[in-house]
Each structure stands twice: as structure tokens, then as C-alpha cells.
Amino acid sequence: MKLHELSDNEGAAKKRMRVGRGPGSGKGKMGGRGIKGQKSRSGVAIKGYEGGQMPIYQRLPKRGFNNINAKRYSVVNLGLVAKFIDAGKLDAGAEITEDALVAAGVIKRKRDGVRLLAKGDFGHKATFAVTGASKGAVEAVEKAGGSVTTTAPAATAAE
């Protein structure tokens, strides 16, 4: 095989349409843009334009605020953790950390940390090391004979 013998597979590379190259090309004269008007000319930018009427995105009221510095936590319910312990995917004897929860498949990713919530029944003696936990979750774990240690998220430069 030589370099000049190499070629793409059939149909892998589509030839681009050359517009405005005569009537025989099928896209001659006006190149498929129609006759006159703003869209036939170059430099068109009419995404939100409504013919002079006030566009919908300007007519609707703006409310609220999205905090770009807000912490987004992965939440874990105690009932789900109990299911994973019963299934043998989590070891209640060892400390249950955020990494252990990800490895077992309880959560997909840690994000800015993991918060433990009290939804569901929990009856295992387990120790948790997570970023945060609700009062109900801490009470439920301690009632079952376990403990919860929370680590505050690392302070950002803005604080």
C-alpha cells in the first residue's frame, strides 16, 4: 500500500455544496437563499427578533437569582444506605465515607460533598464520615448505635 492508494470509505466524506456556481449546479444564482430580504444578505442575526414587537424574553418578568458560589451536595437517604448494607455492597462494620458511597454505587459523584438525610428506616450500627447530615439522620444513626462525623467543606477564597 502506498500513500496515493489511501482513500476514505464509501460515503465517509461528503462533498460540500458550492453555492452560486451557475444554474447547472442546482444551487446557482441566489444559492438557495430566495429573493431579497434580510435572510438573503450576509451578517444576519435574528435569533430572538419578532418583527419589531417586544421579544418574549423581554416581555416576561425576571425573578430570582442563581448563586454561582452555592454549594451543591449529593444527598443520600438512610433508607438507601440500609438497602446497600443489606445487599452486601456496603460494609456496616467499616467507616462509611463519601468515597465508599461512590464506590458502592449509592451516589454517582460527590459534587461539593455528601449530605446524609433521614428518609427511610435505618437499623445498622454504622459510622459515617460525610460533609453534612440532618438532625434527624444523626438521631436515627445514633439510635441504631452508630455515629456520624461531619466535616465542614473547605473554605473558599471569597470567605
pLDDT digits (tens, 9 = 90+) for 95-124: 999 999 999 999 999 889 999 999 988 888
CATH classification (class only), 74-150:
alpha beta
pLDDT, the chain, mean = 88
Distance CA 34, CA 13 (A): 28
Report which DSSP code applies to 30: T
pLDDT for 29 beyond 80: yes
What is the model's pTM? 0.56
Element at 44 (helix H, strand E): none
Distance CA 12, CA 134 (A): 56
Looking at residue 60, what is its pLDDT?
94
Looking at residue 122, what is its pLDDT?
87
DSSP calls for 3-28:
GGG--PPTTSSPPPP--SS-GGGSS-
Q: Where are the beta strands (DSSP E) in the chain?
A: 74-77, 96-97, 114-117, 127-130, 132-133, 147-150
Looking at residue 102, what is its pLDDT?
92
Looking at residue 93, what is its pLDDT?
86
